[in-house]
Amino acid sequence: MKQYFKHIISCLFLIMLFVSCNNYVESKNISKERTENIKKEIELQPVLTYHFDTIRNDSMLKKFKSNYTHEQQKIIAATNRLDISKIRIKTALIIPDTLLNEFLQYSPFPNSLNLPDSILKFVLVNQRLQLFAAYENKKIIRFGPV
């Protein structure tokens, strides 16, 4: 009888080891696939650089307003967490060197998340940056300050 139990325990141990190894291999495959997807997404995202500028006088304010379209001014204001009406003389600004068409392209969050299909909407908050990102159907739809 003791021998019988030893064989059963040995078989159970081998089955558990086999299942654990399969799960480990599957998780490594998923991890490689996910890593490749992240690399592709990073390659597609533009590299953004910024410069610092201060609007010192009225002529600089006029130049600022003539150099940038209203949409670009909105992007600059949002990047600085300002309302566009608050850009005036003595305003210090961080200005993107490349002005893209959509503000969403400036998001530090990933364009998509690998979420379960059952989660249709998701909000991610980064406390350090004090930003949120709203996702719908795994794709980012909006981000902004918290």
DSSP secondary structure string for all residues of 21-88 = HHHHHHHHHHHHHHHHHHHHHHHHSPP--EEEEEE-SHHHHHHHHHHS-HHHHHHHHHHTT--GGG--
**What tens digit of pLDDT does each residue of 50-88 get?**
899 999 999 999 999 999 999 999 889 988 988 999 999
- What's the predicted TM-score (pTM) here? 0.60
**What tens digit of pLDDT does each residue of 34-51 get?**
667 666 655 556 678 889
**What tens digit of pLDDT does each residue of 90-123 get?**
999 999 988 888 888 888 888 888 888 888 999 9
Other Cβ atoms less than 10 A from the Cβ of 76: the count is 20
Say what the pLDDT of residue 66 is.
94
